[in-house]
Every structure is written in C-alpha cells, then in structure tokens.
Amino acid sequence: MSTDLKPLDASTPRVQGTSVRLGDRIFRNLTRGAGIFVLVLMAAIGAFLVWKAIPAFQNNSGNFFTTQEWFPDAKPPVFGIAALAFGTAISSIMAMVIALPIAIGTALFIAYYANRRISSSLGFVIDVLAAVPSIIYGLWGLEVLMTHMDGITRWLNDYLGFIPLFKNDIGIYTKSIFIASVVLAIMILPTISALSREVFVQVPRAHREAAIALGATRWEMIRMTVLPYARSGILGASILGLARAVGETLAVTLVIGNSVKIPDNIFSPAYTMASVIANQFPEATSLHRSALIEVALILLMITFVINVIARLLVWKVTGGQRVVVQE
C-alpha cells in the first residue's frame, strides 16, 4: 500500500482554515457589536436624563448648583444641590478616611505577611463582603450600629468638640452623617482592599528581593519598594472606593436622616444626591421628578469621571491586566 502524500497546491480547498478564519471574523464582529452596544446604551441613558431634566432647567428660579433650598413644588419652584452635594461629599470623604488605612493594612497583610491558607481565607472573606447587598449594610447600621455608637459619638463631642464638625450642642445622637459614613466605610473597604492587593502583587519580585538582600526588614522593603511602586494603584483603588461611596443609595438613605440642609456638624441628619432621589422619586410630581432627574444627571457625570480616573490609575500600575471586583 502506497503511503505517498501529495503536496497541497494552490487549488486545493482549505476547509478547516477557511472555517477558522470565518469564525474569527464572526466572533470579532460580535464582540465589536457588544462594545458598540454598551457605548450606545450609555449615550442613550445620558440623553434620556438630559431630555427629562429640561423642565427643571427651564423652570428653576434658583441656581441649581449654589441654592441650598429644595422646593421643586413651590410657586415659583426653587431648588439646588448645594446641601445635597455637601452631604454627599462629607459622608464620602469621612468614609474614605475611615476605610483607607484599614483596607491598605489588610491588603499588605494578605500580600506579604499571611501564609497561603490565611491569605486565601481572608481574601475570600473580603470578596464575600464586596458582594453583600447594600441594603444588608443599611439594615445593620440602622438596627445595630446606630444603637452602639452613642459612646463613640459622645467621646468625639467631648474631646474634639472644639472643631465645629464634632461639636454637638443638642446632645442627641441618632441618624446622622457620622453613622452613614461608618456604614459607607465598611461597604467600600472590600473594594479598596481587593484592588490594592492586586496592585501590591504586581511589584516586581526582583525589587523586593534586592531590598531584602541589602538588609532591609520586611516593613522597610514595603516602605521603600512596594508602596512607591503601587502609589498610583492605591490612589486608583481609593478613587474607585470613593465612587461607590458617592453613588451608594439604600444603605445611606436608611441611616443618614434625610434632611435637606447643610448640617452644622457630623452628628446632624443630612441628604446625599443619591438618597434624595430614592426617597422622593416615587411620590414626586412632574416638575419635582424632573428636578430629581437633573440631580441624577449630575451624579452620573461625577461618578463617570471618578471611575475613569481610577481605572486609568489602576491600569497604569497593573500594565493593563484586568482587575475584577464585585460591587
């Protein structure tokens, strides 16, 4: 039996190769279509918000960005986001101050101090915390945290009361910016910790081994090689945590007190941009609803810019490797 193989010439059909090339083209077009769909969807959402916010733009008798009052149903209507923006900013910044050092410390422990078993277990717990629905955090803050924070809030008032933000002349400690900030801090901690951990493990092994070889302790190695290398990534992770804090709705609505005014201290109730939408939208009239949609438009723009900046910073450190964190 002859086993001679004839070479393929140019006229011989390449069925398998053609099939692969056709499949590549189909898959490439499908993925391109999915990307275009996402962009079109984002543009459609933005256009919808702008269209629905037009009545609020046209009928507001106050300055939307500087007015503290919120009376969209008054005659004439006057409303602005000054008080809402203040509540959003102060609660988010306080949450960052509380969460950032704990998150960075946890990420460093997992990356450089814990053994493999503890590192895996603790990393799993952090991922689970990132996936917990926000309403659970809100209910926990309302039923547990708020009833056990009286001592801390009184201590802050007694020893830091010379600072206006910590001075509480009324002596009543219930729903407030402070409680909302603690809840937000617990919510954003897993996000910052998980992203920081991924950034820390990107530090080249040669840099770390060189520091150890020169006689550096583990802390000195982290201070001289890990933290400088991961600085942009830590900043990006922090900004992503800030973005979640800015946009958080249900948990904040349950514990912040929902009062449209710029508070005198952190123990007073307030409103955030997200919580006012959730709290008032179901019963809002046409113009009131348009005003809330205008708030949503501004909130979308803020969170979009924050997320873009954060992703660019994280991408700069990780070299374009995708880091996935459940939110």
pLDDT per position as a tens digit, 150-200? 778 888 888 887 888 887 776 566 788 999 999 999 999 999 998 888 888
Tell me the sheet residues that pair with 70. Answer: 79
> Is pLDDT above 90 for 44?
yes
Mean per-residue pLDDT over the chain, rounded: 84
212 pLDDT higher than 70: yes
Phi and psi torsions of 12, nearest 5°: -75, 125
d(CA 88, CA 181): 10
Strands (E), the chain: 70-71, 78-79
Would you state the pLDDT for residue 237? Answer: 86
For 286-298, how does the pLDDT look when each residue is reduced to its tens digit (9 = 90+)?
A: 899 999 999 999 9
Q: Is the pLDDT of residue 320 over 60?
A: no
What confidence score (pLDDT) does residue 170 get? 64
Average pLDDT over residues 35-59: 92
327 — pLDDT class (breaks 50, 70, 90): very low
Cis ω before 76 (30° cut-off from 0): yes
Quick one: pLDDT band at residue 90, thresholds 50, 70, 90?
very high
The whole-number average pLDDT for the span 128-153 is: 86
| H or E, element range at 178 | helix 177-200
Determine what percent of the chain is predicted with pLDDT higher than 70: 88
pLDDT value at residue 326 = 44
User: What's the whole-model pTM score?
Assistant: 0.81
Q: Please compute, for residue 50, the number of CA atoms within 13 A of its CA located in the half-sphere on the CB side.
A: 7
- Domains, the chain, ordered by start: 70-318 (1.10.3720.10)
What single string gives the DSSP state of each residue in 11-65? TS--HHHHHHHHHHHHHHHHHHHHHHHHHHHHHHHHHHHHHHHHHHHHH-SS-TT
Question: Rounded distance, CA 77 to CA 59, Å?
Answer: 7
Is the pLDDT reported for residue 209 higher than 80? yes
Predicted local confidence at residue 123, as pLDDT: 86
DSSP state of 81: S
What are the tens digits of pLDDT across the range 101-121?
999 999 999 988 888 888 888
Between 14 and 45, name the one with better pLDDT.
Answer: 45
Question: What does the pLDDT look like over 7-30, one tens digit per residue?
Answer: 545 454 544 444 457 878 888 889
What is the mean predicted confidence (pLDDT) over 55-67?
90
Please report the pLDDT score of residue 317 as a whole number.
61
Non-local CB neighbours of 262 within 8 Å, separated by 6+ positions: 68, 82, 83, 86, 87, 270
- Select from 272, 242, 241 the least CA-distant residue to 256: 272
Say what the pLDDT of residue 152 is: 81
Look at residue 246 and tell me whether its pLDDT is greater than 70: yes
Q: What distances in angstroms separate CA 121 from CA 31, 59, 126, 142, 198, one per listed residue?
A: 35, 56, 9, 29, 16
Paired tokens of 326: 């459940």
What 3-state DSSP class applies to 257?
strand
1-10, 93-102, 292-301, 309-318: segment of lowest average pLDDT? 1-10
pLDDT score of 265: 85
